[in-house]
Homo-oligomer: A and B are copies of this chain.
Amino acid sequence: MRAIKDSVHDYIEVDGVAEALLDTPPVQRLRHIKQLSTVRLVYPSANHTRFEHSLGVYHLADRALSHLDVTGARADTVRAAAFLHDVGHGPYGHQTEGIIQRRLDRHHDEVEDLLASGAVGDVLRDHGLDPQRVAAMVEGEGRLGQLVAGELDVDRMDYLVRDAHHTGVPYGTIDHGRLLRALAFRDGDLVLDEGNVQTAESVLVGRALMNATVYRHHVSRITGSMLERASTRLLDESNLDTETFARMTDGQLLGALDDHDATTEAARRIAERDLYKRAVWTERAAVPDDVVAADHDEIQEFERTIAATAGVSPEHVLVDNPGQPSMPESSVRVAVNGDVRPLHEQSPLVKGMQEAQRVQWRFGVYAPDDCAPEVAAAAERELGLAGVGDVNA
C-alpha cells in the first residue's frame, strides 16, 4: 500500500490493482497532461495534471464503494476504471479531442485497446480483471459504471473541487463528503437519497459557475482554437500520424509544433501568451441558425471566406462555434418523499440554469490584434451576424 499526499484529499491510500497501475507508462503519462490545458493562461496557478486528478477520482470511487458496501472484483473493476478513466485523453485534453474524434473516430473514453495492451493490460489481467469490462465502465456502462461516468460520477466531484483549489475560484467547492454519503442504489439506479435536492443543485450550480468563469473563459477558448488549428496543420502537413499524436503529452505537442515550420509561430504565441484577440464575441440571438448548426468542414469554409474578404492570411481567422452546453446534472435522480425523480422535475432551478447557460453562450471569431477589425467586419458580413456584441477584452 502506498499513501500519496494530495493537496485536495490529503493522504490517498493506493492499494491492490491501483498500486500496480501507478507505475505503468499510460498512467505516468498523465503527469504530463494538464487537467485544465489552456486555462492556466487565465488562472496561472492552474497547472494541475490528470495524474493527480486520476488519483482523486480513484480515492472518491473507493470511498463511494465503501459507503455503498460494494466489495470484491466488482469493486476492483470500478477502482481500476476510476483510476484509468482519463488515459485516453490526447495532449491538452479536451482541446484536441475534436481532432482525434474526426480522424480516428474515437472518443477519449473509448479505451478498450489501450487497456487491453501493454503494461496496463498485464496489470489488469494479473489482478483477475477483464480489461474489456474496465473499459466499458470507463464509458459509464452498467449500474456501477454510473459512478465512473454518469450524472453523479466521482470524476465531476473531484475536478470541481480540484479546479477550485488550483485556480483560486471558489465556485467549484462542492461538498463531496455529503455527496458521497448521499449515494444510494434504488431499482438498479444510482440516486441521491432523501433530503438531497440541494446537494444535487449545488453540483449543478457549481459546474455552471465554473463553466462561465473558468472552463469557457475566452482566453482559454482562444488558445484552444489556436492549438486546434495548429495541430490540424501539423497533422495535415507532416508525417505525424494521428495515433502517435493522440499519445503525445502537452510538452511533446508543443515541441512538435515548434519543430514544424508552418506552426512554429503558433507554438511561440501559445508558449509566450501572445494570443489572438476576439474580433467577434456575440450572443446566440445575433448568430443565424445555420451558422450555429455548421459542422467542422463548414466552419473551415467560413474561416477561408472571412479571411479572403478581410484580405488576411487564412490562418489569421479562427471561428469558434461552441455548441450547446450540456447539463448532465439535470438528470441526477433524487429521492423525494419516497419517489425517485430526475432533478429537473423536482428543482425549478434546473430550468433557470439552462436558460442562464443559453444567455451566457458566446460565438467567437479570433484574429491577431492588428487585423481584428477587418476580420470582425468580414465575419459580420459573411456570416450574417446581427450587430456584433461589445467585446471587452
Contact status B352-A181, CB under 8 Å: no
Among candidates B167, B251, B271, residue contacting A254 with C-beta atoms closer than 8 Å? B251
Q: Mark A157-174, 1 if CB is under 8 A from B, else 0.
A: 000000001111111011
Query: Binary interface profile of A, 350-366, with partner B (CB < 8 Å = 1, else 0)?
Result: 11110110111000000
Interface-centre pick from A5, A32, A252 (highest chain B CB count, 10 A) = A5
| Contact B356–A349 (Cβ < 8 Å) | yes
Alpha-carbon distance A96/B165, docked complex (angstroms): 30
Tell me, in angstroms, the Cα distance from A349 to B178 when the chains sit together. 24
Please give the count of copies of this chain that the complex contains: 4
Encode A286-314 as 1/0 by CB contact (under 8 A) with B: 00000000000000000000000000000
Q: Which residues of B contact A165 (CB under 8 A)?
A: 7
When A168-B5, A252-B255, A272-B25 are in contact, do A348 and B337 touch as well, CB less than 8 Å?
no
Given known pairs A171-B202, A338-B390, A392-B195, the reply for A44 and B251 (CB within 8 Å) is no
Known: A32-B271, A337-B390. A11 touches B181 (CB 8 A): yes
Residues A178 and B11 in contact, CB atoms below 8 Å apart: yes
- Chain A, interface SS category: helix
Q: Interface digits, A337-381 against B, CB 8 Å rule (1 contact, 0 not)?
A: 110000000111111110110111000000000000000000000
A binding-site residues for B, Cβ under 8 Å: 3-8, 10-11, 23, 25, 28-29, 31-32, 34, 40, 43-49, 51-52, 55, 165-171, 173-175, 177-178, 181, 194-195, 197-198, 201-202, 205, 209, 212-213, 249-252, 254-255, 271-274, 337-338, 346-353, 355-356, 358-360, 389-390, 392
